[in-house]
Structure 1
Amino acid sequence: MDLQVVQIRKRSEVIVEENKTVISELQTVKNNLFDLNERHLDLQMRTVRDNLIFDGIPEAQEEDIEAVLKEFIHTVMGIEEGIQFHRVHRLGRKIPNKHRPIIAKFVLFKERERVRREAPATLVGKPFGVNEQYPKAINDRRKLLYPHYKQAKRQNRKAVMVADKLFVDNVRVYRSDPLPDDRLVPNRNHYAPAIPMESAPSSKYRSTLRLNVTLPSASNPELRVANTKTRITIESKTPDV
């Protein structure tokens, strides 16, 4: 009887150690998935870095959208140099009595930057807007940080938001939970999370990671179940232009 107890205890210790190994491996997979998702987001960001979104430009029944945008940049924004585009189109389905935004992919990044930088001054008080394009996951992070950006501005502090990163007084702010007006402080433990994997949009881009995990059998600790496959699929949509 004592021998059986000793054997059971040893087997239990083996199971505990194997479970620790499995947990460690799964944590590694989780970290790798996060890194893979961040790299994919970076790739998405690069595909739209030359794009700008123009809001408020009236939409006609039949229109040459590129010509409309060039006329807007020339007459409303006062930029006389000829701007070149790879592609220009309106976003979404046409809705009666509404003007869809225009998205434009610039040929030259420096021309895109000039239009973006001059927009605040040239469009102040006008019903138009010019914004950078970001993937949905980045926009979700920006929404979490935007209240803190506005809060810092109310405090007359230097606040700059670059993509999904917020800097206040040249210090990066990581918090994503609401803060009182007098407690806006950096905190690396509350980084704005990425878009949840289960709510990622469908895509033609797909990355699959397979992990072979060896687990102990529940009925027999000495019997090992090999080649148990865990398949994890990441899906995300690269914005079109």
Structure 2
Amino acid sequence: MRENLLFYGCPDVLNENCQGTVKSIISEKLRIVENITLNRVHRFVKPSNGKCRPIVSKFHYYQQRELVRTKAITKTNDLKITGLGIGIQQTKAVLQQRREKNALFNR
């Protein structure tokens, strides 16, 4: 999971090319011209009613993942306008701990 990024807000399309979708986001939205090597790209979890499933992208090189992640942080406002988001894939245990901490702060 260390090399994975999740791409949120990409509409589900029947028989889509997830790798092409991710590469187009990287080149067009983030303006990265470097050739990014991806090992696996697929949709996450089962389809649900009307919700867009995130795309899981496993990068071959950790440095390339970090390049995309840091560029996404600097272009957060541009991505939000288009309804896209990019984040690190976390384990279930980490997500559960974050939910518990947020629940404490939101009381």
Normalising by structure 2, we get a TM-score of: 0.84
Once residues 57 and 25 of structure 2 are traced to their aligned partners in structure 1, the CA distance between those partners, rounded to angstroms, is: 13
3-state SS of the aligned residue for 1:63?
A: coil
Report the counterpart of residue 94 of structure 2 in structure 1. 138
Select the structure with the greater relative contact order (CA < 8 A; seq sep ≥ 6): 2
Q: How many equivalent residue pairs?
A: 104
Report the counterpart of residue 54 of structure 2 in structure 1. 101
Deviation at 1:76, TM superposition (A): 1.1
Q: How far does the alpha carbon of each residue in 1:122-178 deviate from its partner, in whole angstroms, 9 at most, with x for none?
A: 23132111111111111111223346xxxxxxxxxxxxxxxxxxxxxxxxxxxxx44
> Going by fraction, where is helix more abundant, 1 or 2?
2
Once residues 122 and 101 of structure 1 are traced to their aligned partners in structure 2, the CA distance between those partners, rounded to angstroms, is: 19
Once residues 93 and 46 of structure 2 are traced to their aligned partners in structure 1, the CA distance between those partners, rounded to angstroms, is: 22
Q: Does 1:82 align with 2:35?
A: yes
> Going by fraction, where is strand more abundant, 1 or 2?
1
Q: How far does the alpha carbon of each residue in 1:200-227 deviate from its partner, in whole angstroms, 9 at most, with x for none?
A: xxxxxxxxxxxxxxxxxxxxxxxxxxxx
CA RMSD of aligned residues (A): 2.1
Deviation at 1:51, TM superposition (A): 0.6
Once residues 105 and 102 of structure 2 are traced to their aligned partners in structure 1, the CA distance between those partners, rounded to angstroms, is: 11
Mapping of residues 82-231 of structure 1, within 5 Å:
82-95=35-48, 97-124=50-77, 125-126=80-81, 127-146=83-102, 177-178=104-105
Once residues 144 and 98 of structure 1 are traced to their aligned partners in structure 2, the CA distance between those partners, rounded to angstroms, is: 25
Q: Which amino acid in structure 2 is aligned with residue 107 of structure 1?
A: H
Deviation at 1:74, TM superposition (A): 0.7
Deviation at 1:96, TM superposition (A): 5.2
Once residues 72 and 114 of structure 1 are traced to their aligned partners in structure 2, the CA distance between those partners, rounded to angstroms, is: 14
3-state SS of the aligned residue for 1:53?
A: strand
Q: 1:146 to 1:79 in 2, by over 3 A?
A: farther
Point out where structure 1 has 5 or more consecutive residues left out of the alignment.
1-47, 148-176, 181-241
Q: Which amino acid in structure 2 is aligned with residue 128 of structure 1?
A: L
Q: How far does the alpha carbon of each residue in 1:181-209 deviate from its partner, in whole angstroms, 9 at most, with x for none?
A: xxxxxxxxxxxxxxxxxxxxxxxxxxxxx
Q: Does 1:55 align with 2:8?
A: yes
**Structure 1 residue ranges (4+ consecutive) displaced by more than 6 angstroms after TM superposition:** none
Q: 1:142 to 1:76 in 2, by over 3 A?
A: same
